[in-house]
Structure 1
Amino acid sequence: MLYTPIRFRNLELKNRWVMSPMCMYSCENGVANDFHLLHYGSRAQGGTGLIIVEATGVVPEGRITNKCMGIWNDEQANALSKIVKIVHEQSESKIGIQLAHAGRKASTWNGKQISLEEGWETVAPSPVPYEESERIPHVLTVEEIKDLVQRFKEAAVRAINAGFDLIEIHAAHGYLIHQFLSPLSNTRTDEYGGSFENRIRFLLEIVEAVNEVLDENHPLFVRISGTEYAANGWNIKDSVALAKILRENNVDLIDVSSGGNIHGVKISLFDGYQVPLAEAVKKDAEIATGAVGLIKTAKQAEEILQNEQADLIFVAREILRNPYLPVRGSFKNKDNCFFPPQYERARP
């Protein structure tokens, strides 16, 4: 299954390998550069079915750091279009982009909040900082929330015009949308807080707005944290309930990660540690999922697919170590996987 195509809307991926979005902290003013061209291009030449570009801020203050990527202006979109063009021309890979806003976890460097002079004021659904020592974030007004929904939509327009095949909305890892989802970080009493239905409203409005600019050739994924590992916080039951609603709102796949919203929680890490979360969402919500989390080998990836725990395999650290992971995994059973024709002499 790992090397069989899969279709979302009208977009066909040649295999089930996905390069998970990973921040590279290498932009100036949010603009991608030659590093990014080589970084993403090498994974395309390595046979990855889908590449998802790192978390990309829809507004300047939505970046995690001042070196993160952005897509709030045309200069940024034009730089990204060069990467898309190379990937499409030099491989069989498809390429998507993850649209993001870091919320209270913005304005940082090396995981620590930086000063207002170096950074900027953070925003959040409620006056609850990520760490007690950090500044209290600005509480978004309803008008500001509506404006951010529009910023996500405008970013999606730029992304499609730049040639991206797919959009992923980042609603995981304790960033702004996740902050709205969790009752531990969202203590609002208006229509965006309190009940489960109110806490998911911001995400649903973004999904609706982004879908307005997508067509049958451009699928929509959403990344969530399946659980935040905290008592009375967001959990897998919430994730399944959300996934059912997203399925009815024209979301094509749930990319299931975990954690990131509550400082200091203990997470037991082992190979494939998040796969059961993807499996629960897939089976209970009846929607396609992506599995991520210390997936390191083609054998491990194949077992996840064969066991029907997920539909796509998102790989992060291992594909940084080995850009040719997909094509190397195809050699053993002579599976069909893109390999640059110039390199054919190296095929076993």
Structure 2
Amino acid sequence: MARLFEPLQLGTLQLANRIVIAPMCQYSASDGTPGDWHLIHLGQLALSGAGLLIIEATAVSAEGRISPADLGLYSDANEAGLARILAAVRRFSQMPIAMQISHAGRKASSRAPWDGGSQITPDAGGWQTLAPSALPHGAAELPPIALDAAGLAKVRADFVGAARRAARLGIDGLEIHAAHGYLLHQFLSPLANQRGDAYGGSLENRMRFPLEVFDAVRDAFPADRPVWMRISATDWVPEGWDIDGTVALAQRLKARGCSAVHITSGGVSPLQSIKLGPGFQVPFARRVKAEVGLPTLAVGLITEADQAEAIIANGEADAVSLARAMLYDPRWPWHAAARLGASVDAPKQYWRSQPRELKDLFDGAAFGQR
């Protein structure tokens, strides 16, 4: 059997295979509340045959949104909108659904990528951003306000509030976003965190707030559902956050009951110099898996079935996480199963699409044709 299509256990959550749909921002919500775009988007991905669907970065507060159109889970309206969509998706898919919860920090109040992604200042309809230190992400941007003790307490409480709402929605697992230059990554990176208190300076101090947030979320979310973290393994900038810090953070998360780590990279500085190539972030996942032992999700230009199979078969990661490749081909798991001689779950309404030469591709498919 193809290793990519073996089951995987994340805490108490069992995945049918090792293909994960990574969280992908859609910039299509209204005051944090999803609409019909999210119904179509999440609905098609939930029919893909992947082992897990992770809902996009979901802001824990209005000021924590990347853009004014970001998805959120900080109001009753947000929760009701997600409840409607999840109810529809779950009618037709048994795929586990997780959610990534996030605070954008100094990268908040930005335009959508197709509008340039630049900062929206408060006088242009944006809002004041927050961060560990009053250092802007880009030299031309307005600086954020450095979080004080009350601000830190509010952010922790916002993560807890989102976790409790996610629990009520029946979300199967939570991923805490500490990557791609957003708030928790900002605390980790010495490029963004130049505090002089217990939350800045040493590695232990810079890890303190992300670990506090993890502890608070883990306590607030049902114990029988997993919580894990997404981490940028390196800033791709000299003197920035690096793989050694990532291993140390993952070790501390493991001791706190973290169920997995989702390894990516970059995002905290426009000075980053990333060496792109197929599977370019997989070596980071491989090291974390080897040294920490937590289930590890790899991501980054993983596009081919044979490539994904090799990553799992060679023990470089426990699962592969696909983003752009899944948007380009929402049936990627079907095609990977066909390539690797495996089977995959598919809705019965689509069973007749199974090619005749692949009669065992769809699990449970049985039909006649008049």
Q: Please give the TM-score of this superposition, normalised by the length of structure 1.
A: 0.98
Q: Is residue 162 of structure 1 aligned with residue 169 of structure 2?
A: yes
- Work out the CA distance in 1 between the residues paired with 2:249 and 2:268: 17
AA aligned to 1:69 is: L
- Work out the CA distance in 2 between the residues paired with 1:337 and 1:158: 31
- Work out the CA distance in 2 between the residues paired with 1:320 and 1:189: 43
Instruction: Give the match's secondary structure for 1:70.
Output: coil
What's the counterpart of residue 270 of structure 2?
A: 263
What's the counterpart of residue 302 of structure 1?
A: 309
Where do residues 309-324 of structure 1 align in structure 2 (5 Å cutoff)?
309-324=316-331
Where do residues 119-198 of structure 1 align in structure 2 (5 Å cutoff)?
119-198=126-205
In the alignment, which of 39, 42, 45 is matched to residue 43 of structure 1? 45
- Work out the CA distance in 2 between the residues paired with 1:17 and 1:90: 19
In the alignment, which of 105, 116, 125 is matched to residue 122 of structure 2? 116
Instruction: Give the match's secondary structure for 2:194.
Output: coil
Task: Indicate if the aligned counterparts of 1:92 and 1:338 stay in contact, CA closer than 8 A.
Answer: no
Q: Is residue 285 of structure 1 aligned with residue 292 of structure 2?
A: yes
What's the counterpart of residue 338 of structure 1?
A: 345
Q: Is residue 276 of structure 1 aligned with residue 278 of structure 2?
A: no
In the alignment, which of 51, 56, 59 is matched to residue 57 of structure 1? 59
What's the counterpart of residue 14 of structure 1?
A: 16
- Work out the CA distance in 1 between the residues paired with 2:281 and 2:190: 22
What's the counterpart of residue 368 of structure 2?
A: none
Where do residues 248-259 of structure 1 align in structure 2 (5 Å cutoff)?
248-259=255-266
In the alignment, which of 52, 56, 78 is matched to residue 76 of structure 1? 78
Structure number, greater radius of gyration: 2
- Work out the CA distance in 2 between the residues paired with 1:10 and 1:280: 24
**Alpha-carbon displacement from aligned partner over 1:299-318 (angstroms, at most 9, x marks no partner):** 11111000111111110101
In the alignment, which of 228, 241, 253 is matched to residue 234 of structure 1? 241
How far the C-alpha of 1:80 sits from its partner, in A, is: 1.1
The alpha-carbon distance between structure 1 residues 78 and 167, as it changes in their structure 2 partners (threshold 3 A), is: same
What's the counterpart of residue 105 of structure 1?
A: 107
**Alpha-carbon displacement from aligned partner over 1:202-247 (angstroms, at most 9, x marks no partner):** 1111111111122343101200100001111100011001100000
- Work out the CA distance in 1 between the residues paired with 2:199 and 2:169: 32
Task: Indicate if the aligned counterparts of 1:124 and 1:137 stay in contact, CA closer than 8 A.
Answer: yes
How far the C-alpha of 1:84 sits from its partner, in A, is: 2.3
AA aligned to 2:37 is: F
| Aligned-residue identity in percent | 42
AA aligned to 1:70 is: G
AA aligned to 2:121 is: S
Task: Indicate if the aligned counterparts of 2:28 and 2:69 stay in contact, CA closer than 8 A.
Answer: yes
In the alignment, which of 82, 95, 114 is matched to residue 97 of structure 2? 95
How far the C-alpha of 1:333 sits from its partner, in A, is: 4.1
- Work out the CA distance in 2 between the residues paired with 1:84 and 1:251: 25
How far the C-alpha of 1:128 sits from its partner, in A, is: 0.6
- Work out the CA distance in 1 between the residues paired with 2:20 and 2:81: 22
How far the C-alpha of 1:92 sits from its partner, in A, is: 2.6
How far the C-alpha of 1:270 sits from its partner, in A, is: 0.9
Q: Please give the TM-score of this superposition, normalised by the length of structure 2.
A: 0.92
What's the counterpart of residue 25 of structure 1?
A: 27
Task: Indicate if the aligned counterparts of 1:87 and 1:93 stay in contact, CA closer than 8 A.
Answer: no
Q: Is there any run of 5+ residues in structure 1 with no aligned partner, and where?
A: none
Alignment coverage as a number of residue pairs: 348
For the aligned residue pairs, the C-alpha RMSD in angstroms reads 1.1
How far the C-alpha of 1:141 sits from its partner, in A, is: 0.2
AA aligned to 2:15 is: L
How far the C-alpha of 1:171 sits from its partner, in A, is: 0.2
Q: Is there any run of 5+ residues in structure 2 with no aligned partner, and where?
A: 356-370
How far the C-alpha of 1:9 sits from its partner, in A, is: 2.2
**Alpha-carbon displacement from aligned partner over 1:270-303 (angstroms, at most 9, x marks no partner):** 1111000111111112211100001112211111
Task: Indicate if the aligned counterparts of 1:19 and 1:50 stay in contact, CA closer than 8 A.
Answer: yes
**Alpha-carbon displacement from aligned partner over 1:21-52 (angstroms, at most 9, x marks no partner):** 11101111111111101101101111111111
Q: Is residue 223 of structure 1 aligned with residue 223 of structure 2?
A: no
How far the C-alpha of 1:58 sits from its partner, in A, is: 0.4
